[in-house]
Amino acid sequence: MTRFMASAPQPEAAEAAVDVLRAGGNVVDAAVAAAFVQTVVDPQMCGIAGFGSMHLHLNGGPHLLIDFHGRAPRAVTPEMWEPLIERECDDGFGFVLKGRVNEIGYRSMTTPMTLKAFDEALRRFGTMSLADALAPAIGYAEEGFMVRPAVHSFWMRGEDNGRVARIHGLIDHPETRRIYTKADGAIHGVGDILRNPDMGRTLRRIAAEGAEDFYTGAIAREIAADMAANGGLLSMEDLAACATEETAPLWFEYRGHRVATNRPPGGGLVIALMLRILERFDLRAMGHNSPDYIATVAEAMKIATAEKDARMGDPRFVNIPEEELLSDAYADAAAARIRAGEKAAVPRLGGGHESRETTHICVADAAGNAVSMTHSLGSSSGVVTPGLGFMYNNCMMVFDPRPGRAGSLAPGKARFSALSPTIVFRGERPFFLVGAPGGTTITMGNLQAILNAVDFGMDAQEAVSAPRFTATSETIELTNRILRSTERALKARGYPVKRHPFSHMMPLVHAIRLTEAGLDGGADPAADGMAVGA
């Protein structure tokens, strides 16, 4: 019987997690060690200067979330970017500004929270030292890792409706260019070994001095000096103020299962709203990915997206009507509108697409201990402080530059994100762990994986591999494996439809299923990851 299971978009991370479990570490040790590896081998998807959400369930012990969303620096003002607006992204999660100042460079960063969260999780719930958890990552930084197709594909992604071509995040900044290009100036190719000794030295410093060196010590002073010299917004005061938040899970029920997910500013409320609506329909009877099924689920996606845009945000700054959104009355009314054929409106300012870069790790054991964690750099700022080797997040990109709105800029504010590591329970025992990278499509991918496992009885790999669709605007986007007859039927109902050329589409969903027969895992086939058990 499989006793341990890990799933991640990077094989190195999944293997690191299982190595820790085999050596006697617990699921928290395994998740953190794997996540540190991710920061090295997928360095534009995540990093120690990133943000995220960690969902922990320890059998017979605590069940909680460690929220580590980045917060806007103290130097931010609500109106500072309003004159620079060009347009809003199609899915309402980010804006294109003149000069792309919110997307790349020294003014695009929120506070770096990831290292703080990993250190806290280890100290409170792990058995390993921070130094031991860092050791596999240090090895990959110093000895190098093989550039994989998904990593290289991101590097070579071109300009997308006003978004900066990602190559600029690797070559525009001299320190970054030194790491990611070869002697002839070319970007490392698929199969090349990329070494980052500066990152290795930084991780060794953290292992020796502790995480606080990054927030109040010598490393913090290097970060603050670099920011001040280049017009950055982050300061020593911002670094010293970094703190995670422990929250209780957001609980709700779906078809006799208890579902636990994260609270705002994470995206779990969006998943809860959609599942509460969809519980009013016999989805299995409709048939998986039939026109009726896609239209019904897409309408729930659109309703949730419109609510997210208008009424969800950082609960420190926004009064979120959670009780209303999760009420029977709300779900009944929304389901009635869907049955009547109404199409939900999802207004947008202009056009464009959100960058969809993040990573995820699921780890579980046969005793029911589980961690589902999503962490990110946004789409990465392209900035590396000389000698430190790691890249900073660019989460300022997703704030609303218009004052007076749920997602508007404010000092110390976190922007609502779709990060939604979720655990579905059967009784008191975890049944299905799920999470994904992929911008606002995260919640839509997690939703469909849950439906696949609960409504259609799929195992973890089937649940994350089945053809998907998404509706974060008024257009239904289809993977190329959705039948064309289904596409025609949706168009006949008046839906705008966009077919992607890919067999698999964002987000990159990863999952673990726990059954009486053991554990099975799933890794999204759209990327380079894997699920591995022992």
Name residue 334's beta-bridge partners. Answer: none
Structure tokens at 58: 């320890």
Phi-psi region of 127 (alpha: psi -120 to 50; beta: other; left: phi over 0): alpha
Contact 40, 196 (CB under 8 A): yes
Instruction: Tell me the C-alpha distance between 408 and 400, whole Å.
Output: 4
Kindly give the pairing relationship between strand 497-499 and strand 476-478: parallel
Q: Report residue 148: phi and psi, to 5°.
A: -95, 165
Instruction: Tell me the C-alpha distance between 208 and 217, whole Å.
Output: 12
Instruction: Tell me the C-alpha distance between 303 and 334, whole Å.
Output: 8
Instruction: Tell me the C-alpha distance between 532 and 520, whole Å.
Output: 9
Contact 411, 74 (CB under 8 A): yes
Per the document, the length of the chain is: 534
Catalytically annotated residues? 358
Instruction: Tell me the C-alpha distance between 449 and 423, whole Å.
Output: 12
Annotate 169-222 with DSSP letters as a single string.
HHHSSHHHHHHHB-TTSPBPPTT-EE--HHHHHHHHHHHHH-THHHHTSHHHHH
| 3-state class (DSSP) for residue 13 | helix
Q: Give the number of other CB atoms < 10 A from CB of residue 367.
A: 14
Kindly give the pairing relationship between strand 497-499 and strand 145-146: unpaired
Give helix 291-311 / helix 441-454 axis angle, nearest 10°.
140
Contact 430, 424 (CB under 8 A): yes
Name residue 145's beta-bridge partners. Answer: 194
Structure tokens at 176: 């970054």
Q: Report residue 187: phi and psi, to 5°.
A: -70, 145
Measured CA distances, 291 to 287, 294, 425, 483, 495 (Å)? 9, 5, 29, 10, 11
Sign of the dihedral defined by the CA atoms of residues 268, 117, 204, 47, in that order? positive
136 alpha carbon, distance to own chain's centre: 22
